[in-house]
């Protein structure tokens, strides 16, 4: 006599299914937690939308005045030349201070304005004589370049904190000095500089930064002082720090 086992198998499968652990998210507790999380998310989105509508974000000013103080130091190569061709080539240590003032256009991240600086050059190492023995003016010790007037342009490609590039041009002079052999006239110079550096947040009231700078000066002794003026050419690589603020 044969007996059917189908009803018994279905009962056994139902018992096994109830005995096996079910996923948590399909349980009654999981469904309640999912519903609670959805309610919280909808409430947060509604609060954010309400805050955006009632409190508009402030827009940055399109432009503003800035003042900058800076200090730098590094090395320089200097070439002095007399009218007859004699001269010296030497190395010098350079330190300098500067101040800049101008406008900052935040939408275009461009700065431009006026610059003034003073740089002190102190010869180091051995001087290489060219063609003939020069006088004391060319073989002299330290000298100072005063630059009361110049223009600068600066671009920050990235918004907020980051990289900046600068270009400047300046006029300067070296005061006349009296050496052991003669009275040397003042030298009038023109110079330029390229800079690359990094600033902290430009939107802050006080901005600190560091930069690498290459600068060059070229000039001649006053033709009103002598018929045979001396010439000067120099190039310097320096590192510096700066502090910018809005008055």
**128 and 27 share one domain:** no
Q: Is the pLDDT of residue 238 over 90?
A: yes
Same domain as 52, residue 88: no
pTM above 0.75, yes or no: no
- Same domain for 51 and 68, yes or no, is no
pLDDT of residue 14: 47
220 within some domain: yes
Are 77 and 49 contained in the same domain? no
Please give the pLDDT value at position 26: 54
Residue-wise pLDDT tens digits, 176-191? 776 655 567 788 999 9
* Geometric angle at alpha carbon 122, from 118 and 127, rounded to 5°: 135
Contacts of 147 (CB under 8 A, 6+ apart): 115, 116, 117, 118, 119, 170, 171, 172, 189, 191
Q: First and final CA of the chain: distance in angstroms?
A: 108
What pLDDT does 176 receive?
79
What does R_g of the chain's alpha carbons equal in angstroms?
A: 37
Token pair for 134:
């020069």
The last residue of one of the domains, among 37, 57, 77, is 57
Domain boundary among 57, 79, 109: 57
Share of the chain above pLDDT 90, in %: 34
Query: Are residue 221 and residue 182 in the same domain, yes or no?
Result: yes
Give the domain range for residue 38.
20-57
In tens, the pLDDT along 81-108 reads 877 677 788 899 999 999 999 887 777 6
**212 lies in a domain?**
yes
User: Same domain for 173 and 235?
Assistant: yes
245 forms bridges with which residues in the sheet? 67, 206
């Amino acid at each position: 006599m044969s007996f059917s086992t189908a009803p018994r198998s279905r009962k056994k499968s139902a018992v096994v299914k109830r005995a096996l652990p079910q996923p948590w998210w399909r349980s009654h507790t999981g469904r309640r937690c999912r519903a609670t999380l959805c309610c919280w998310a909808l409430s947060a989105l509604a609060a954010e939308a309400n805050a955006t509508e009632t409190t508009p974000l402030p827009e940055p000013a399109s432009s503003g005045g800035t003042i900058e103080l800076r200090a730098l130091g590094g090395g320089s190569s200097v070439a002095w030349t007399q009218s007859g061709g004699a001269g010296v080539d030497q190395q010098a240590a350079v330190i300098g201070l500067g101040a800049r003032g101008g406008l900052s256009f935040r939408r275009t991240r461009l700065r431009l304005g006026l610059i003034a600086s003073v740089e002190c050059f102190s010869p180091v190492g051995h001087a290489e004589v060219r063609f003939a023995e020069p006088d004391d003016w060319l073989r002299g010790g330290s000298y100072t370049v005063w630059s009361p007037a110049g223009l600068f342009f600066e671009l920050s490609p990235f918004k907020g904190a980051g990289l900046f590039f600068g270009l400047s041009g300046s006029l300067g002079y070296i005061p006349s000095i009296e050496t052991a052999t003669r009275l040397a006239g003042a030298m009038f110079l023109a110079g330029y500089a390229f800079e690359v550096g990094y600033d902290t947040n430009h939107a802050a009231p006080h901005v600190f930064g560091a930069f690498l700078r290459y600068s060059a000066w070229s000039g001649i002794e006053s033709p009103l002082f002598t018929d045979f003026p001396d010439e000067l050419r120099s190039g310097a690589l320096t590192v510096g720090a700066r502090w910018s603020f809005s008055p």
